[in-house]
């Protein structure tokens, strides 16, 4: 299919250009975090809590996955998606308040809770502006200010900024080793592979047209499967679901018993760094789904290392959901129902 006409008609906010240039965010994220004086007393932190929602939260899970797989961190990372810290903190906690817009009410509520209860913990804000920037300036809380890419820019497209700036802050505080070399190497790799991933995404999108995607991965990469579903729901405007091995073999797979004729398409993200028994589980699961009349495709996560595998897979999800949006006659960028919901919550 020739997508040129559909891009011109439906991509009104240039999502394609954002994806094409997403590799540039990683170096920018390093630089904006390096240039900020954190003014935090160096001490032995016992946990890191990343507070945020949506595209401001799941980069924290990517960081968690990356550092744990590389065995680069000795303290737990907790992702908080709520209005409260729920007694998760100690006096030696490091809390990141992450809100791309700076106006996410759940994250702002946690910020206020910390000050109101006079919790003796260290905070760092991450935002493009908004209320969070004003609060951090007023309360003299260090914060990382993302570049302002425009009012229509969506947090789910800002992963490079969030990931690289948070890692840089952790390195500056001595919690982890410096990661700038690996991040810049990732940038170089993504610049080269993004056009290839675009072509792969076009083909996959056409297979998924009028289907409901189900995304599976190994346990260690379950955040990547989750991100794919987010991309489908927000970019393509369709429902999507995810799960991970080996858990799904003990329950969910039985839902395929009567899959014939149903409009589901299962994608299995496969990696050679996972346990060999998980790889066997994925292959047998795919075979059994096909035997019952279901559609399934196993995708090898490209890349030579953990960072390359995670982010090349995320960008493939970007492209697939982008072209599926065009096939659905949708602009990939707006999230009208989310915005309507926020207005109703006022």
The domain total for the chain is 2
| pLDDT score recorded for residue 162 | 97
Catalytic site includes residue 42: no
Among 140, 155, 178, identify where a domain stops.
178
Domain of residue 319, CATH code:
3.40.50.10490
Shared domain check, 162 and 237: no
Is the pLDDT confidence value at 41 over 90?
no
Is the pLDDT confidence value at 192 over 80?
yes
Shared domain check, 237 and 144: no
Shared domain check, 253 and 131: no
In a domain, 80, yes or no: yes
Shared domain check, 218 and 150: no
Catalytic site includes residue 71: no
3-state secondary structure the chain: CCCHHHHHHHCCCCHHHHHHCHHHHHHHHHHHHHCCCCCCCCCCCCEEEEECCHHHCHHHHHHHHHHHHCCCCCCCEEEECCCCCCCCCCCCEEEEEECCCCCCHHHHHHHHHHHHCCCCCEEEEEECCHHHHHHHHHHCCCEEECCCCCCCCCHHHCHHHHHHHHHHHHHHCCCCCCCHHHHHHHHHHHHHHHHHHHHHHHHHHHHHCCCEEEEEEEHHHHHHHHHHHHHHHHHHCCCCEEEEECHHHHCHHHHHHHCCCCCEEEEEEECCCCCHHHHHHHHHHHHHHHHCCCEEEEEECCCCCHHHHHHHHHHHHHHHHHHHHHHCCCCCCCCHHHHHHHHHHC
Identify the active-site residue in 133, 220, 234, 308: 234
Shared domain check, 148 and 241: no
In a domain, 11, yes or no: no
Over residues 99-125, the pLDDT tens digits come to: 999 999 999 999 999 999 888 778 999
The Cα 276–Cα 272 span in angstroms is 8
Averaged over 221-238, what is the pLDDT? 98
Shared domain check, 174 and 40: yes
Identify the active-site residue in 9, 177, 280, 342: 342
In a domain, 21, yes or no: no
In a domain, 276, yes or no: yes
Over residues 127-176, the pLDDT tens digits come to: 999 999 999 999 999 999 999 988 788 999 999 999 999 999 999 988 99
Catalytic site includes residue 234: yes
Shared domain check, 144 and 217: no
Shared domain check, 259 and 203: yes
In a domain, 76, yes or no: yes
Shared domain check, 239 and 118: no
Identify the active-site residue in 44, 181, 250, 260: 250
Shared domain check, 198 and 173: no
In a domain, 28, yes or no: no
pTM for the whole thing? 0.96
Domain coverage including residue 261 = 193-327
Shared domain check, 313 and 212: yes
């Amino acid at each position: 299919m020739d997508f040129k006409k559909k891009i011109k008609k439906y991509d009104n906010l240039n999502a394609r250009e954002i994806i094409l240039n997403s590799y540039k965010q990683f170096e920018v994220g390093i630089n904006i975090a390096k240039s900020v004086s954190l003014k935090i007393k160096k001490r032995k932190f016992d946990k890191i809590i990343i507070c945020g929602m949506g595209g401001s939260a799941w980069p924290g899970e990517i960081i968690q996955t990356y550092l744990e797989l590389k065995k680069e961190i000795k303290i737990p990372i907790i992702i908080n998606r709520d209005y409260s810290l729920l007694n998760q903190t100690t006096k030696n906690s490091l809390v990141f308040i992450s809100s791309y817009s700076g106006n996410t009410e759940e994250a702002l509520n946690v910020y206020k809770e910390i000050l109101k209860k006079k919790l003796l913990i260290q905070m760092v804000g991450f935002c493009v502006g908004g209320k969070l920037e004003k609060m951090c300036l007023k309360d003299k809380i260090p914060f990382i200010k993302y570049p302002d890419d425009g009012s229509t820019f969506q947090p789910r497209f800002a992963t490079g900024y969030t990931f690289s700036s948070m890692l840089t802050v952790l390195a500056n505080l001595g919690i982890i080793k410096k990661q700038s070399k690996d991040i810049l190497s990732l940038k170089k790799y993504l610049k080269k592979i993004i056009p290839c991933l675009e072509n792969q995404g076009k083909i996959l999108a056409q297979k998924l047209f009028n289907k409901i995607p189900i995304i599976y991965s190994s346990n260690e990469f379950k955040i990547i499967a989750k991100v794919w579903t987010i991309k489908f729901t927000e970019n393509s405007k369709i429902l999507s679901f995810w799960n991970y091995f080996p858990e799904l073999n003990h329950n969910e797979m039985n839902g395929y018993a009567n899959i014939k004729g149903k409009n589901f398409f299962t994608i299995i993200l496969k990696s050679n760094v996972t346990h060999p028994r998980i790889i066997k589980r994925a292959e047998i699961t795919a075979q059994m789904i096909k035997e019952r009349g279901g559609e399934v495709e196993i995708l090898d996560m490209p890349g030579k290392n953990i960072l390359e595998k995670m982010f090349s897979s995320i960008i493939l999800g970007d492209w697939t959901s982008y072209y599926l949006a065009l096939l659905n006659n949708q602009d990939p960028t707006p999230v009208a129902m989310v915005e309507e919901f926020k207005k109703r919550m006022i």
